[in-house]
Chains A and B, each alone.
Chain A
Amino acid sequence: MSTEQAGPPTGAGPAPGGGGAPPDAAVPAGAPLAAAAPAGRRGGELAYFALRNGKLVAGLVIVLFFLLVGLFAPMLLPHGPNEYDIGPQGAPPSAELWLGTTRFGQDVYAQFVHGLRSTFLVGLLGGGVAFAVGMVVGFVAGYRGGWVDEVLNMITNVVLVLPTLAVLIIVAAYLQARGVAVQSLFIGLTSWPWAARSIRAQTFSLSSRDFVDLARLSGRSSWKIIFRDIAPNMSSYLFMTFILLFGGAVLIAAGLDFIGLGPTDGTSLGLMMNQAVNWGALQLGMWWWFVPPGLGITAIVGALYVMNVGLDEVFNPKLRET
């Protein structure tokens, strides 16, 4: 997302080191303004504040932990998540089976780590699709204005007021084979409107800025103006939008799974909770069946939101505490 470091040779002078001239090296690393940092070190400055931001680091650690578990733990397991009679039925957590078993003798730990995988997949795909659609619609509507904006805004508003959950339930119910990918696609296609609206608003305000006006005067194409002049100036905003969409997609997927419209060919954290409730885990006090998936979803989405707040502080000098 940052275009700073990738300057072509045309930009930098022939002088060694190009960007920052020697006198600028005197600027202290912790200078409060992004402005004060020498040219080539803007990324370094962001990293400086990022590493010192407790919220960001804590959120990142939690998310990375679950991501790594989701990625690698399934590989280390000898059996799949839905295989029966891995252990005794309904056994509590033990040294061999860390999270116990379900009423069918399935390994809860195996389901959990596979579920983490699909949770990240849904977040990445669903959030990614919503982000892409939201960006295109938001940029075009905000930059073009006029009737293009009217039409796109109307579509955005229509999708925004659709009872999303009802639509997803109907769609999910009609699809015969449901996979994580299809589920993510539908989540992505219904959750983009707010992103589009906020990107549109940002684009509106940025496209009235002077440097965009000058770029227009030079006859540059609209796409170049959008991606070179407008988008880089809201890159932190875009990044945070993606994080929120990611978290949102995970939550919607969990909700769908929980009411039994999850993937038919695998497992997910929401599906685990669905089964736990369906087979009386609550009444039987089998907490190891429903607590881990619930905790997993809460931890991931919560950590993403905390990360988002931390990122906001990193990108916005006014919010920095250090």
Chain B
Amino acid sequence: MSLKVRDLRVYYRTLAGDVKALDGADFELADGEITGLVGESGSGKSTLGKSLIKLDGRMRYVSGTVELDGAELPVRDSARMNDFRFREVSLIPQYAMSAMNPTRKVGRMIADLLESRGERFRALRPELVRRLELVGLGEQVLGRYPIELSGGMKQRTVMVLSTLLDPSLLIADEVTSALDVSNQRAVAETLAGFRDRGFVKSMIFVTHDVALVNQIADTITVMYAGRLAEKGPAKTVVNSPRHPYTRMLISALPEVGVSHGERRLSGIPGSPPALLDPPAGCRFRDRCPLAFDKCEQEPPFAEVEPDHSVACWKA
């Protein structure tokens, strides 16, 4: 097991109280596993991704432990996390296209970043160039300003930069959301290639796009209202989901080659609960067609079959 997360809770501080964006995440990631973390906006998937590398100013660590390769990650202590960032845990940010300082040449900006991690740019340069070539970029990008690169080139540069120190865990936060479909596929495949080559050990691929995740991820993790709803092998989650939310989510997706002329795709009626003061028990209860009395109690995130966990009493 490369990553073990136990009961991780991270809240957002607001004047009205704590917004429980991540309220008890429990999961594991095997060596070499790519998991696609899906869920709607506000389900806490980005919060989960971020809390594994850097809590921003408004986030408050409440409880839980994170273990990476047998060592505990000090997620609550930003200063101590510094030693782990880029080396053990790395992030491809949502904003990869604007992640580079417009006033500095790409090579210089990478040198700055490496220097602040205590690495020597000169020593790493051959490897950097090799990896840039791997993603189809020439060495000359190092001598250019970010504005001279296309969006896709910037994204690939940031991908190479984020994985240059061979982190154990890579968090790809919505990396494909700003790309067109053909680029989405290419980026996803590049990331899978990084895993195959051993640049990263395991990966959390945060996205809205179930179809894309289905293509590259080994497992799919579904989040709903700050909690994990279901985690299992990609095929299983897509073809035979157990959690009612996952089922409705999958059935709301259009399929290639299927004509939807006669019937409308069914959405999920209702909206997620406010996380400022979420209701007790199962949070999907109000929208769930299967809800019954027991749902007043919180269902555990339990394994229903090997490697397949679901948080539902009916699963």
Chain A residues near B (Cβ < 8 Å): 3-4, 7-8, 10-13, 15, 18-19, 21, 24, 34-35, 38-39, 42, 145, 209-211, 213-221, 224, 228-229, 232-233, 235
Which B residues touch A10, using CB under 8 A? 107-108, 111, 121-122, 125
Q: Do A4 and B103 have beta carbons less than 8 Å apart? A: yes
Q: Do A220 and B101 have beta carbons less than 8 Å apart? A: no
Which B residues touch A4, using CB under 8 A? 103
Closest Cβ of chain A: how far from B177's Cβ, in Å? Answer: 14
Q: Kindly report which residue of chain A lies nearest to residue B116, judged by CB atoms.
A: A220
Q: Kindly report which residue of chain B lies nearest to residue A229, judged by CB atoms.
A: B101
Partner of A21, one of B57, B99, B140: B140
Q: Kindly report which residue of chain B lies nearest to residue A210, judged by CB atoms.
A: B95
Q: Which of B103, B107, B111 has the most CB of A within 10 A?
A: B103
Partner of B85, one of A11, A210, A219, A232: A219
Q: Do B116 and A218 have beta carbons less than 8 Å apart? A: yes
Q: Do A11 and B98 have beta carbons less than 8 Å apart? A: no
Interface string of B6-37 (1 = CB under 8 A from A): 00000000000000000000000000000000
Which A residues touch B82, using CB under 8 A? 219
Q: Does B216 contact A (CB under 8 A)?
A: no
Q: Does B144 contact A (CB under 8 A)?
A: yes
Which A residues touch B99, using CB under 8 A? 210-211, 213-214
Q: Do A217 and B145 have beta carbons less than 8 Å apart? A: no
Q: Do A13 and B140 have beta carbons less than 8 Å apart? A: yes
Q: Do A211 and B143 have beta carbons less than 8 Å apart? A: no
- Bound together, the chains give a CA A24 to CA B111 distance in angstroms of 24
Which A residues touch B140, using CB under 8 A? 13, 15, 21
Q: Do A211 and B107 have beta carbons less than 8 Å apart? A: no
**A21-B140, A39-B145, A217-B91 are known contacts. Are A11 and B102 too (CB-CB below 8 A)?**
no
**A217-B54, A219-B117 are known contacts. Are A7 and B95 too (CB-CB below 8 A)?**
no
Q: List 20 A-B contacts (CB under 8 A).
A: A7-B108, A12-B107, A13-B140, A13-B142, A24-B148, A39-B105, A39-B143, A39-B148, A211-B98, A213-B93, A214-B93, A214-B113, A214-B158, A215-B116, A217-B53, A217-B91, A218-B113, A218-B117, A219-B116, A228-B101
Which A residues touch B86, using CB under 8 A? 218
Which B residues touch A220, using CB under 8 A? 112-113, 116
Q: Does B175 contact A (CB under 8 A)?
A: no
Q: Does B147 contact A (CB under 8 A)?
A: yes
